[in-house]
Structure formats: C-alpha cells, structure tokens
Structure 1
Amino acid sequence: MTWADFWALMATLNGEATHANCRRLAEELSRRSVPDIIGFAERHAEALHRLDQEKFGTLPVADMTARDGSPFPQSADGFLYARCAVVAAGQAVWESVFSDVDKFAPYTSTEYDGEWLLYVPEEAYELATGEEWDRSTRYCFESYSNRDGWPHLRD
C-alpha cells in the first residue's frame, strides 16, 4: 500500500480515532484485498514507529498535573494512544509534528485517545477473511521501541 493510499484511508476518520470512525475504517479496509489490509497495517505501524521519539514521549500530559502541581508524565500506553491520535488526525498533522514538537503536545491530552486505531488492521482482516489476525508488522510500534528515536536507550 502506498503512503497516499494509507493517508486517503486515514482521512475517513475525519481526524478522530473514535470507536465508530475506526469501525467504519475497518469496514472500508475489509472490502479491499488481503495484501492491502496487510499493507495498511505495515504503513500504520511505520507511522507510529516514526513518532516514537524522545522529544514526543517526554512531553507531559497536556491536561494533567501531579498532586504537587508538577507536569504529569505520559505512560507508555498513553504515549502510544497519543501517537495514534496524531496519525488519526491525518497526514498534514503527522508531518507537521516532526518539525514542531509543540504540535504534538495537544494530542497527549486525555481528550485525545487513539487506541481504537490499533485494532483496525485486525478487525478489517477478520471481517474480510473470517479468520483471526495472526501476524506481526515490520516495525514495532510499542512505546520506546524506536532505538533511533530514543538514543539513550540503545544497548
């Protein structure tokens, strides 16, 4: 799947990874070929992996503070869901955060939760084939897995 095809499919989310929007995207994707579904999963994983960088992951949660008033750090899951929200927001937003970290910051808010986007490839595959999704992607999208994005975590 090309990046253009991936971003065109992402545009069906209207900028938000709500449950209903992600279900609609999975249904749309399920009408495509299995290689397209796999290609979507690969692009999705790569988009998330590329956002897995220290400059984004160390931002505090936008709308929370600790009891003492200090910034509240993102959890690993919260950071993953924030990255999903950025991808769901579309190509222009995704591209813009790389040159301006402040554009990523709002997506750390508890108002944004892109978790539903994680399930789109497997849901589409299951709708298309009736079988369970059982494959890994080339890129790991789990938080802190991008060694280039987190240089001090390198072995």
Structure 2
Amino acid sequence: MRMTWTDFWALIATLDGVATHASCQRLTEELSRRPVPDIIGFAERHAEALYRLDQEKFGALPVADMTGRSGSPFPQSADGFLYARCAVVAAGQAVWEGVFFNVDKFSPYTSTERDGEWLLYVPEEAYELATAKEWDRETQYCFESYSNKDGWPDLRD
C-alpha cells in the first residue's frame, strides 16, 4: 500500500474538519489527480480508520441531539453510527486519535448535524474521475457498523 497514514491524514485535512458535500468534492478532485494506487490506498486507510472506530463504547452512545418520546436517550442506528465515525475521521487525526482515550469526545459526532456520510463516496468517485471506470473493489477492512468483532465482544459468534 503506497498511501501512508501521514499522507491519508494530510488529505483528510483538506476537509477543514467536516465532511460536507462541498468539502468532500474538493477532496475527491484532489485525490482523482493522484495515481490510482494512491486512490486505492486512501480507500484502504479510510476503511481501516472506520473499522478501528467500530467499537461498542462508541456505538452505544446515544444520538447527541435526539431523545425518545419519553425523553430517554435515542440510540444510534447502524447507518447513523457509520456516519458518526465518518464525521470523526473528517475531523482529523487529532480528533480520531483522541476519542480512543476519551469516549466522551466521540459524543458530539453522533449529532444529526455532524453527519459524515459524504466521506464514504470519496474513493469511489475519485477512482471513477481518474479512470472513467466503475469502482469495483472491496477494502481489506469492512467499515460497516458492527463488523469489528473485537470492538463488539458480545456480538462474537
């Protein structure tokens, strides 16, 4: 893999801390100007960063700005948890590293206002811009919620 963690976080820094449509479009265009192995390497690093965040201590946090009818905490959905993890990655290396030491630092990213979904599409769109071919690739790490069995010990088979 050619993409180092340093290179990955430098590219993520172009998002200015948020994964909006516009910031992710800028990142997509930047990435599409790089060699295809860099695009694939970015996808691999991104998937691994999300996979490492796929842990019960983060997924069990309630949505920051929602409550149930009775005022009780509102749980994150699988998609919501994925988008929260994307928002943490988009916030940059210091935030990403920091949540592992203080789970409370993850909480603001569960907000419906901090959705990082757009970041999911960056590698695929960059590849398609660069090659005019459809992205047909699986990453080594599955970034879908609850796929990190070490992070969810109660879900192990």
Q: TM-score, normalised by structure 1?
A: 1.00
Deviations 1:39-95 (A, max 9, x none): 000000000000000000000000100001100000000000000000000000000
Q: Cα distance, 1:116 vs. partner?
A: 0.2
Q: Distance in 2 between matches of 1:127 and 1:9?
A: 17
Residues matched between the structures, number: 155
Aligned equivalent of 2:29, options 27, 30, 39: 27
Structure 1 residue matching 2:113: 3-state secondary structure: coil
Letter in 2 for 1:14: D
- Choose the corresponding residue for 1:111, options 101, 109, 113: 113
| Alignment of structure 1 residues 4-15 onto 2, 5 Å | 4-15=6-17
Q: SS of 1:134's equivalent?
A: coil
SS of residue paired to 2:64:
strand
Question: SS state of the match for residue 72, structure 1?
Answer: strand
Q: Which amino acid in structure 2 is aligned with residue 103 of structure 1?
A: K
Structure 2: state its 5+ residue gaps.
none
Paired with 1:141 and 1:18, the residues of 2 have a C-alpha distance of 20
Tell me the amino acid that sits aligned with residue 108 of structure 1.
T
Q: How does 1:58-73 map to 2 (within 5 A)?
A: 58-73=60-75
Instruction: State the 4+ residue runs in structure 1 displaced beyond 6 angstroms.
Output: none
SS of 1:145's equivalent in the other structure is coil
Map of 1:86 onto structure 2: 88
* Residue aligning to 1:124: 126
Give 1:139's match in structure 2, choosing from 118, 138, 141: 141
Structure 1 runs not aligned, ≥5 long: none
- Post-superposition offset of 1:109: 0.4
Residue 147 of structure 1 and its aligned partner are, at CA, apart by 0.3
CA distance in 1, matches of 2:44, 2:112: 27
Q: Deviations over 1:13-57 (max 9, x none)?
A: 000000000010000000000000000000000000000000000
User: Distance between the aligned counterparts of 1:18 and 1:106, measured in 2?
Assistant: 16
One-letter amino acid of the counterpart of residue 127, structure 1? L
Percent same amino acid at aligned positions? 85
Cα distance in 1, alignment partners of residues 77 and 52 from structure 2? 18
How many Å separate the matches in 2 of 1:122 and 1:108? 25
Specify the code of the residue in structure 1 equivalent to 2:145.
Answer: S
Equivalent residue, structure 2, for 1:151: 153
